[in-house]
Chain A
Amino acid sequence: MSARLNRVRLRLRDLAAGAAFGSLVISWQLPSVLLLLAAAGFVLALFDRRPFGDRHLVGGVFLLLAGALCFGMVWKGPVDLVVGACCFATLLTLQRMLSAPGPAVDAQVNLASLLMVAGGGALSGDLLYAPMLALYAVFSILAMGLGVVSATVAPGTTFPLRRVLLPLSVGAGLAMVLGLTFFILFPRLSWNMAGGRVSTGLGPVTTGFSDQVRLGGSGSIKSNPRVVARVHLSPDPGDEALNRYWIGRTYDTFDGVRWTAQRTPVETEGQIRLSHGGDRLIHQEIELLPAYGARTALALEAPSLFGGAVANTHKGRRRTRMQRLENGEIRFEREAPGYDYHAYSLPADVTREVPALTTGDLDRARSLPADLDPRIPALAQRLLAGEQDPLRAAERLARHLSTRFRYSMELPGEHPDALSHFLFERQEGHCEHFATALTVLLRTQGIPARLATGFFGGERLGDDYILRAGDAHAWTQVLVPGRGWVSVDATPPAFRSAQPEPFLTWLVDRYEALEERWRNSVVDYDIRDQWAFLSGMLSDRERHDVLAGEVVEARPRRALGMGLGAFFGVLLLGWILERRVRRPRSDPATRFHHRLRRTVQRDPTIGAGLARGVPIEELARRLRQTDHPAATPLDDAVRRYLEARFGSRPLGAREASQLLQRLRSALGTAARSS
């Protein structure tokens, strides 16, 4: 068997296994130990180090241990059955891959890799699964094809690898086209209930709510352009930039360094009503993406009703109830990477009914750290100058902070009294500093206030609004008699929403758009889409908007024609390419002959003498008889052509060029002299 063929085949086989492993890795559900072990194994295999070799006993013991380990993990509960099976498939692939190669072992590696890819499909709905699957398909098809050929190659013979790689590559492309066709047309007999609806996308989560807010430190979240939520608003405000507060969680206890809250669940229902809002509520259809990374529900200020929550788990979509916590936060009962739910909020101009606060709540909303810097109440007193109205006081303080203090994310080092340091020394900070300062300043004057966290912004994308990780924000809520908690923001307006890098934003937007298309077209593809696709292909009916009386969607019959045209176009292209590839190349001597004739024919003095059908030897003879300056170089070139064509004396490219160059020079000299 050709050594090169064998080497390439093994490399492709191992790369296919690597791609299959990658399809599992992107689900981020495999144990870290396994990831490290498998990565090391793949590196060893790529360097052709196969420690198991022919040691079947060692390999068997390894598999037994692997099986026991996976069973133990499933039994004890850290992983579920599917993940456990995927772990075992990974270890099986690893063991086979690091054993001595052979036809049976190759087939086992390919099939174990296939199990990994299937596991990846069951565990992940990530966009990255697509390239992993494509890579696996290409590598495994090439490896299997080379495996079949290598079984018939006689020992010690060389094999033209390119000859076989070309049809296999075309075959890989064709297999993917066929795969897509099957995917579109294969009848969906069940609803997509267990599809991997969620994906971690571009790495781990970027926002999330913690149990506490700690002042200090630097960060880069404001520049993070990842989309964490998509919202469809009804009625649609139509603004490009919504610039609204999306509240998630509030904190009422501050100890000088960190904010905490009472987070005991007080109510768990499928639908949670916070207030009655009448008929002008803003309906929000919200999708929290895995980049969001928390169980806290978001809603436009001021939320009135939450419900219809669905958790997008790795095993599919599951209904989940919602919980109302003591601090007013709404969260999902089931933990999942993503959620879909509905929320209703009051418009800004509507006064909401105010739930009565308990004495404890009021006390916490006025409480101050025990060792509060005395300069802070003095500052509040000086700035307010006797202002007693909570809202006006808050707005006055907020105006002072937002105009006199600078916004900065670069806050190196920890300070024991971060608030005083912000107010009296550094005078720059981020939204948490501004919000904390305003809240504490208000509390020093006996005005109940609390810290609210969530998002500020809302960027138009199609018919929806998106929230980016950089929109994460903190602000103050002040208790206004008769109106309840009212948001007041001390952060300079320019720094409330995301501040992403334009290029990074563009890049992430493209990825997010691609991911959305992937989810809509692939992950969420179901029998309705299938029916719509088929009816669109076969029917030329137009869909009318009954109310508006307009044609909103036309499905002309040309879609079918275009599809067929594309199909036959691909076939035609393949046929042309095949003909081009398979067309035998003329030998170097013949090519030299053609170049020689062209060179002579271009010459104005003797070119006419080399008409079609006249041998170039004849022209050379005539030039010799007339003592033409180009006779000798033409003679040499013709002689070399004849030797190369019929005398088995090869003509190199360099020599051919030199001969032609000499001829051109001689022809040029002759033309100048004439």
Chain B
Amino acid sequence: MSSPAVSAPSPAFGQRLWARLRRPDWPRRLKVTGTGRTYLMVTLGVGIGALNTGNNLLYLLLGLLLGVIVLSGLLSERVLRGLHVERVGADALHAREPGTFRWRLSRERGHAFAIEVREVHAELTGRATAAILGPGRSHVLRGQVTAPRRGPLVLEAVDVSTTWPFGLFAKSRRFPIPGEVLVLPARIRVRGEVPRAHQGLAGEDGRARFQDGEGDLAGLRELADGEDARRIHWLKSASSQKLVRAERDREERQTVELVLETGPSRAALDRRCEELAAQARTLMARGIEVGLTVGPVRLRPSIGPAHLRRLLTALARAGFSTPPVTREVA
């Protein structure tokens, strides 16, 4: 048996209205543009002229000008209302370098015009624009944004603004979307010498025959249990009716282990991260596998875009305590 629910008395309409008016995060922000300032000045002038002279044609014009201002508010509200915004993020955003950032916008009905999207973060500058957003489908807006430093940036909201319809006011609506964007170290030139690479054989360690390299074909044998299926020679397997694997010579491998010393100041750490990132990039471009040690974290030497991304991510996060990330978007 359930007991009857006891609800608190709802506040009066006036109290609710007052509470709404006092909200610090007022849902719309209005900014007067340069053209709008001049327009308002002219409207004021026409108004003073009308009041001073009593000329009804000036009153008529004043009415039209005020009507345009009201209309501006109504039409811009229509654009911002019913808008759904989602942060897509960036593929790779490097510090002090414009990078492509994406947002997904959609509306259920009605068109929206002259939309501008930006992140509400003091350090992430840049915007994306769209001339028109149709109803019923999502639009991905791409904009160039810039961050001044590496590291994770905690994002709180997305600002969508419009100067529609007359460019007199820029009305914006804030969509609270928590998230994080990781800014990778800035791309700089390598200063000085790159570390010397350690030379040795590459391949699957721990195998008796050490014939698991990527070099010339050394022989064929039946695939044993637990061996990597990617080693199967499919042509020979098809002809022999059993799984045959190829054995290849191990190649010479060059590796470099980069180490990021923790402890220096934030600026020095940023510089060091940028240097290490530049070295990793250069070394990988030369075909050298690069590993990285950042405090307790160690990344084994490897090569390729995915590994480079792992290195850069580790460098970007170096020195930052791991935040409670809702969703990482880069």
B116 touches A148 (CB 8 A): no
In the bound complex, how far is the Cα of B109 from the Cα of A479, in angstroms? 86
B56 touches A195 (CB 8 A): yes
B residues touching A (Cβ–Cβ < 8 Å)?
A: 34-35, 38-39, 42, 45-46, 49, 51-68, 70-71, 74-75, 109-111, 113-116, 129-132, 134-136, 163-167
- Please name the residue on chain A nearest to B57 by beta carbon: A121
Q: Which of B52, B55, B66, B109 contacts A196 (CB 8 A)?
A: B55
In the bound complex, how far is the Cα of B217 from the Cα of A72, in angstroms? 98
Q: Mark A6-50, 1 if CB is under 8 A from B, else 0.
A: 000000000000000000000000000000000000000000000
Q: Which of B42, B58, B132, B163 contacts A164 (CB 8 A)?
A: B132
In the bound complex, how far is the Cα of B51 from the Cα of A498, in angstroms? 43
Nearest CB in chain B: distance from A123 CB, A: 9
Q: Does A94 contact B (CB under 8 A)?
A: no
- A residues less than 8 Å from B109 (CB atoms): 582
Q: A107-B167, A111-B38, A118-B58 are in contact. List 13 more A-B contacts (CB 8 A).
A: A107-B34, A115-B42, A118-B61, A122-B53, A144-B166, A145-B164, A149-B131, A160-B132, A167-B111, A180-B63, A183-B60, A183-B62, A192-B56
Query: Can you list 9 contacts pairing A with B, beta carbon distance less than 8 Å?
Result: A118-B49, A141-B165, A144-B165, A151-B167, A159-B132, A175-B64, A182-B66, A188-B59, A316-B55
B63 touches A186 (CB 8 A): yes
- A residues less than 8 Å from B75 (CB atoms): 167, 171
Chain A, interface SS category: helix
- A residues less than 8 Å from B51 (CB atoms): 189-190
In the bound complex, how far is the Cα of B62 from the Cα of A628, in angstroms? 74
Q: Does A290 contact B (CB under 8 A)?
A: no
Nearest CB in chain B: distance from A145 CB, A: 5
Number of interface residues of A (CB under 8 A): 62
In the bound complex, how far is the Cα of B132 from the Cα of A208, in angstroms? 60
- Asked if A175 meets B71 with Cβ closer than 8 Å, knowing A182-B62, A182-B66, A183-B59, the reply is yes
Nearest CB in chain A: distance from B22 CB, A: 29
B111 touches A177 (CB 8 A): no
A194 touches B54 (CB 8 A): yes
B66 touches A149 (CB 8 A): no
In the bound complex, how far is the Cα of B74 from the Cα of A178, in angstroms? 12
Nearest CB in chain A: distance from B250 CB, A: 52
A117 touches B61 (CB 8 A): yes
Q: Which of B67, B111, B167 contacts A147 (CB 8 A)?
A: B167
- Please name the residue on chain A nearest to B46 by beta carbon: A118
In the bound complex, how far is the Cα of B56 from the Cα of A192, in angstroms? 7
Q: Does A241 contact B (CB under 8 A)?
A: no
Nearest CB in chain A: distance from B186 CB, A: 28
A149 touches B60 (CB 8 A): no
In the bound complex, how far is the Cα of B55 from the Cα of A316, in angstroms? 8
- A residues less than 8 Å from B135 (CB atoms): 582
- Asked if A153 meets B55 with Cβ closer than 8 Å, knowing A133-B64, A175-B67, the reply is no
- A residues less than 8 Å from B130 (CB atoms): 152
B62 touches A151 (CB 8 A): no
Q: Does A379 contact B (CB under 8 A)?
A: no
- Asked if A186 meets B59 with Cβ closer than 8 Å, knowing A148-B114, A148-B165, A149-B131, the reply is yes
- Asked if A122 meets B63 with Cβ closer than 8 Å, knowing A145-B164, A152-B115, the reply is no
B165 touches A168 (CB 8 A): yes
Nearest CB in chain B: distance from A133 CB, A: 7
A residues touching B (Cβ–Cβ < 8 Å)?
A: 107, 110-111, 114-115, 117-118, 120-122, 124-125, 129, 133, 137, 141, 144-145, 147-154, 157, 159-160, 163-164, 167-168, 171, 174-183, 186, 188-196, 316, 522-526, 582, 584
With most chain A CB atoms within 10 A of its CB, the pick from B51, B56, B65, B71 is: B56
Nearest CB in chain B: distance from A140 CB, A: 9
- A residues less than 8 Å from B45 (CB atoms): 118
In the bound complex, how far is the Cα of B168 from the Cα of A175, in angstroms? 15
- B residues less than 8 Å from A159 (CB atoms): 131-132
- A residues less than 8 Å from B35 (CB atoms): 107, 110-111
Q: Which of B63, B110, B163, B165 contacts A582 (CB 8 A)?
A: B110
- B residues less than 8 Å from A180 (CB atoms): 63
Task: Tell me the number of A-to-B contacts counted with CB atoms below 8 Å.
Answer: 174
- A residues less than 8 Å from B134 (CB atoms): 163
Q: Which of B38, B39, B56, B70 contacts A178 (CB 8 A)?
A: B70
Nearest CB in chain B: distance from A7 CB, A: 16
- Please name the residue on chain A nearest to B59 by beta carbon: A183
- Please name the residue on chain A nearest to B35 by beta carbon: A107
Q: Which of A149, A154, A188 contacts B164 (CB 8 A)?
A: A149
- A residues less than 8 Å from B39 (CB atoms): 111, 114
- Please name the residue on chain A nearest to B78 by beta carbon: A167
In the bound complex, how far is the Cα of B71 from the Cα of A144, in angstroms? 13
In the bound complex, how far is the Cα of B95 from the Cα of A246, in angstroms? 91
Q: Which of A111, A183, A193, A526 contacts B63 (CB 8 A)?
A: A183
Nearest CB in chain B: distance from A130 CB, A: 8
- A residues less than 8 Å from B38 (CB atoms): 107, 111
- B residues less than 8 Å from A316 (CB atoms): 53, 55
A179 touches B66 (CB 8 A): yes
- Please name the residue on chain B nearest to A521 by beta carbon: B56
- Asked if A195 meets B54 with Cβ closer than 8 Å, knowing A164-B132, A179-B66, A183-B60, the reply is yes
B64 touches A174 (CB 8 A): no
Nearest CB in chain B: distance from A27 CB, A: 11
A196 touches B57 (CB 8 A): yes
B60 touches A522 (CB 8 A): yes
- A residues less than 8 Å from B114 (CB atoms): 148-149, 151-152
B164 touches A523 (CB 8 A): no
- A residues less than 8 Å from B131 (CB atoms): 149-150, 152-154, 157, 159
Nearest CB in chain B: distance from A115 CB, A: 7
- A residues less than 8 Å from B164 (CB atoms): 145, 148-149
B54 touches A181 (CB 8 A): no
A193 touches B132 (CB 8 A): no
In the bound complex, how far is the Cα of B168 from the Cα of A80, in angstroms? 33
- A residues less than 8 Å from B129 (CB atoms): 152
B165 touches A121 (CB 8 A): no
Nearest CB in chain B: distance from A518 CB, A: 10
With most chain A CB atoms within 10 A of its CB, the pick from B35, B54, B55, B166 is: B55
Nearest CB in chain A: distance from B82 CB, A: 12
- Please name the residue on chain B nearest to A174 by beta carbon: B71
